[in-house]
Structure 1
């Protein structure tokens, strides 16, 4: 099931802008202190590092990703998720429509 709406959160209005604007996100804080981010990756091929483990949920568009240490590119679309280990990295490729996501971490 794809997350379409998030109620009851606090949103940081200042955008996180990465890779010369190819990735833009905003931080969300839930009443229980849980944090997530919502954002978009424009068409590009990028590498992201992680501190905490992450779950990337696709809510729009599609992407291909490759986890650190793997040679396999895996495609995900709307309603699909992928896990990224903590203290690691992943490559992401977006072609055509931007990739909109929710990043679950921490």
Structure 2
């Protein structure tokens, strides 16, 4: 499963800008990767992990702004089509599962 956090936070005043930056750093500390400046994604092992992350994110929400959290499967993630300028980006791949022997 994948989790995507998309947000639009105010950055015109000093304090809201600091809150927005703290939120971005918080997401990175949770293991999210920046897809775009206000779009962060993370692969999770399943729905239980998503619920745990959701609770942590909810506790750290800034006072202002709009935050959306999307959940989708590995197959749906692989269907994302990306462009860099007018060139099509490489296909997305879900990370390999670790095997224990």
TM-score, normalised to structure 2, is 0.29
* Higher RCO structure (Cα 8 Å, ≥6 apart): 2
Q: TM-score, normalised by structure 1?
A: 0.28
Larger proportion of strand? 1
